[in-house]
Homo-oligomer: A and B are copies of this chain.
Amino acid sequence: MQNSKTLKELAEHLGGKVRGDETCRINGLAPLESASSDKITFLANPKYAAKVAETGAGAVLMAPGGESYGRNVIEVTNPYLAFAKLLTLFYVRKPAPQGVMDGASLGSTVTLGSDITLHPGAIVGNGVSIGDRTVIHPGAVIYDGVTIGSDTVIHANAVVRERCRIGSRCVIQPGAVIGSDGFGYAPDGAGYYAIPQIGIVVLEDDVEIGANSCIDRAALEVTLIRRGTKLDNLVQIAHNCQIGENCMIVSQVGISGSTKVGNHVTLAGQVGVAGHLTIGDNVMIGAQSGVPNSVPANGGFSGTPIMPHKDWLKAMAIVPRLPELRKTISALEKRIAELEVQRTEA
């Protein structure tokens, strides 16, 4: 699977600089501890710098100016990113496009870009448009009127409902649902009348959606996920939400209807966010937290309901000691009562 490359070639690919033997040939990546001489490894965390002296790797990716211990080095400003890019280079092979394969199902007036692949069991509705090099895996269902950009991958059994728009270079993991009906009902005395959800979902470019995550279509307009944002598995985005650019929404997070999330926001696992809120840019919310109110930009918060993360750590340190505190208070109460009696008697 691997082709070998010289350090010179790798440095060019990464925009880095070789110290040592530029002609050294590398055919893959490995950890510092276990790499052999045909592998390149990386030093991202300075606390492991001493391991470079002992690695068997043929070369080490490290930040400029790091101690090489006589090893071949490629200097790059972000060794972890460089490692990820070499993983792609050595191990990821985009399969040759297969076109519309036997057992794929196409509706009428479908627009197909060049070099697409529609796998067996992929179902594409009427009036769908699919960009160049996009791949639709088996069992994925694309409803009528959907638009999908270029270089996007839609994995098996994902669903994109009617008229939704998916950008370019998006990845939809298996079983994800884009454009399900928003959860909107009007009480009618006897029960609930389902409010038609006639809006859509728009995923901008470079958005990734985790397995079995759900993004509801808007009631009237657009549920929007802006460019570069990544959703983990089993995430719920309710109708009319707007999620900013380059957010990280970790597994099992739920965001209620009409909430707006800024750019570069991180919501850790199992966070819940109430509806109709605004979360500012660069906010980080700790795992399992509950967000009942809007949050200004730039801060870290935890707890249900949330408070500044440091305050939460301090408060949670007290919780296991609450029974002891209560006893202390009772004891104080008795001592005070005794003092008061003595006072009166005095």
Contact = CB atoms under 8 A, between A and B. Distances in A.
A81 B187 contact: yes
Contact of A139 (B123, B191, B192, B232): B123
Contact of A335 (B173, B186, B251, B336): B336
Stoichiometry (number of copies): 3
Contacts of A180: 155, 173-174, 210-211, 233
A339 B248 CA distance: 56
A283 to B, nearest CB: 16
A216 B250 CA distance: 13
Given A332-B332, A336-B339, A174 B141 contact: yes
A322 B315 contact: yes
A320 B307 contact: yes
Given A177-B175, A192-B246, A193-B81, A323 B318 contact: yes
A293 to B, nearest CB: 12
Contact of A84 (B119, B121, B156, B193): B193
Contact of A91 (B92, B143, B198, B227): B198
A51 interface: no
Contacts of A288: 272, 288, 290, 304
Interface in A226-245: 227-228, 230, 232-234, 236, 238, 245
Contacts of A88: 196
Nearest to A256: B269
A285 interface: no
A194 interface: yes
A157 to B, nearest CB: 5
Interface residues of A, number: 107
Contact of A157 (B78, B139, B185, B238): B139
Contacts of A161: 155-156, 174
A342 B191 CA distance: 66
Given A92-B198, A194-B171, A335-B340, A183 B250 contact: yes
A4 interface: no
A151 interface: no
Q: Which 5 A-B pairs have the closest CB atoms?
A: A191-B228, A141-B156, A180-B211, A159-B174, A318-B322
26 contacts: A81-B188, A91-B196, A105-B120, A105-B138, A137-B143, A141-B157, A161-B174, A175-B214, A177-B233, A211-B214, A212-B214, A214-B234, A232-B236, A234-B234, A238-B251, A251-B254, A256-B269, A270-B272, A274-B287, A307-B319, A312-B320, A315-B320, A317-B323, A318-B326, A329-B332, A339-B343
Interface of A: 78, 80-81, 83-85, 87-88, 91-92, 103, 105, 119-121, 123, 137-139, 141, 143, 155-157, 159, 161, 171, 173-175, 177, 180-181, 183, 185-196, 198, 206, 208, 210-212, 214, 216, 227-228, 230, 232-234, 236, 238, 245-246, 248, 250-252, 254, 256, 269-270, 272, 274, 287-288, 290, 292, 303-305, 307, 311-312, 314-323, 325-326, 328-329, 332-333, 335-336, 339-340, 342-343, 346
